[in-house]
Amino acid sequence: MHDSSAPLRVALVGYGFAGKTFHAPLIGSVPGLVLGTVVSRDAGKVHADLPGVDVVADAAAAFADPRLDAVVIASPNDTHAPLARAALEAGKHVVVDKPFALDLAQARGLAALAEREQRVLSVFQNRRWDSDFLGVRQLMEAGRLGRVTHFESHIDRFRPQVRARWRERAGAGSGLWYDLGPHLVDQALCLFGVPDRVLASLATQRDGGEVTDWAHAVLEYGERRVILHASTLVAGGTPRFIVHGTQGSVVKPEIDPQETQLLAGMRPGDAGWGEDADDLLLYDGNGNIQRLAPPRGDQGRYYAAFRDAVQGHGSNPVTPGQAIAVMAVIEAAMVSAAQGRAVAPELDAAERDAWPGR
């Protein structure tokens, strides 16, 4: 257990889109966390944003630094598991950006290692603290929709040009399903637990595309259907959430604003941070529509919870067990898409219990 009177010193591995846009600003916003080191081959890029931070080119140097308590892995997806393993073996607490790993075997191995080393291993599922998801979840848990029969979750974008970056090049862990699938699946499991079966279709639709850029998965829970969808060729018109139940429906038109705010230079704690001006639309079935303001989003709460877990004051915000179940659904969807059939996630009873049924 870390001495709670001293701040946690954190190393961030990777200063690409995720490290620069999400991790560095969120870590810097949380009292009790200090970003001490960034692992990057471009020290100039890091120091332009973070002049007081040490920059090293080799992750092993950060892992060996006794001044550092925790490591955040925000490097390309195919490096997540080996880097997390090395950090745990060096005695560090670890945050892994999604996806947790490339497959179930890697995920299970990391979970077992963290348990042996008695270190906190957590997965960065920041979208649990998005305004849109929090608002829909509140209405569901308050019973405003009755029994939910249909849940639809979209993260759609319009990016018709294939860009020269690892996420869009053929290779292990690339493509839209590995990029956005973990967010969509994690939110669904938060609400409903592990599905009975997964039926999915994956496609590459853009000119010159090398990887999946369209993904559609149907999670089956008895007669309830949960639809998860992501695309790079949606110019507009698709709501973020559509939920139907026995007493009403809710639509959330727009996505949480925090990513846009971070890209614009806003930081947690600034005026307007996490405030979402896009209302939830609650339909009662009698022609009435009620507009409800969503809660304020705050992805910094993830890192505050991680800090508390390391210091022994709270629980891990996203456990390895939960991340294993997410990985099982990701894999089931890939098998389903390849074989054209519904596939049950390959989890044993104990692993399913990480996400109790809802």
pLDDT band at 163 (very low <50, low <70, confident <90, very high): confident
The pLDDT assigned to 171 comes to: 77
Closest-CA residue to 254 (of 125, 126, 136, 128) = 136
Task: Tell me the C-alpha distance between 335 and 262, whole Å.
Answer: 35
The pLDDT assigned to 343 comes to: 98
Q: What percent of the chain has pLDDT over 70?
A: 98
pLDDT band at 167 (very low <50, low <70, confident <90, very high): confident
Say yes or no to pLDDT of 203 above 70: yes
The pLDDT assigned to 272 comes to: 96
Closest-CA residue to 70 (of 91, 51, 98, 40) = 91
Q: Where in the chain is the domain with CATH 3.30.360.10?
A: 128-297+328-352
Task: Tell me the C-alpha distance between 21 and 53, whole Å.
Answer: 16
Tell me the per-residue pLDDT of 224-245, one tens digit each, with 9 for 90 and over.
999 999 999 999 999 999 999 9
Q: In what order do the strands lie in the sheet with 280-283?
A: 197-203, 214-221, 224-231, 148-156, 241-245, 249-252, 280-283, 289-292
- Which CATH class for the 8-127+302-317 domain? alpha beta
Place of tokens 């890029």: 45
The pLDDT assigned to 2 comes to: 55
**What is 128-297+328-352's CATH number, 3.30.1360.200, 3.30.360.10, 3.30.56.10, 3.40.50.300?**
3.30.360.10
Q: In what order do the strands lie in the sheet with 33-39?
A: 54-56, 33-39, 8-13, 70-73, 93-97, 121-124
Say yes or no to pLDDT of 308 above 80: yes
Place of tokens 């969120």: 26
pLDDT band at 1 (very low <50, low <70, confident <90, very high): low
Task: Tell me the C-alpha distance between 285 and 208, whole Å.
Answer: 45
For residue 185, give Cα distances in angstroms to 83, 118, 194, 322.
24, 27, 10, 11
Tell me the per-residue pLDDT of 188-199, one tens digit each, with 9 for 90 and over.
999 999 999 999
If you ran DSSP here, which 8-state letter would residue 21 be given?
I
pLDDT band at 148 (very low <50, low <70, confident <90, very high): very high
The pLDDT assigned to 4 comes to: 64
Say yes or no to pLDDT of 5 above 80: no
More confident residue, 332 or 172: 332
Tell me the per-residue pLDDT of 309-346, one tens digit each, with 9 for 90 and over.
999 999 999 999 999 999 999 999 999 999 999 999 99
If you ran DSSP here, which 8-state letter would residue 293 be given?
P
pLDDT band at 300 (very low <50, low <70, confident <90, very high): very high
Query: Where does residue 118 fall: left (phi above 0), alpha (psi -120 to 50 degrees), or beta otherwise?
Result: left
Say yes or no to pLDDT of 73 above 70: yes
Longest dimension (CA), the chain: 63
Model's pTM, two decimal places? Answer: 0.95
More confident residue, 350 or 38: 38
Q: What percent of the chain has pLDDT over 90?
A: 90
pLDDT band at 285 (very low <50, low <70, confident <90, very high): confident
The pLDDT assigned to 357 comes to: 61
Tell me the per-residue pLDDT of 267-277, one tens digit each, with 9 for 90 and over.
998 999 999 99
Place of tokens 């290779």: 171
Alpha-helix residue ranges (DSSP H) falling in the chain = 17-18, 24-29, 43-49, 59-63, 80-89, 104-117, 131-141, 176-179, 181-192, 258-263, 300-310, 320-339, 349-352
Strand ranges, E, within 204-248: 214-221, 224-231, 241-245
Measure CA of the first residue to CA of the last residue in the chain; give whole Å. Answer: 33
Q: Which long-range contacts (CB under 8 A, 24 or more apart) does 283-288 make?
A: 283/248, 283/249, 283/250, 283/251, 284/247, 284/248, 285/247, 285/248, 285/249
Q: Where in the chain is the domain with CATH 3.40.50.720?
A: 8-127+302-317
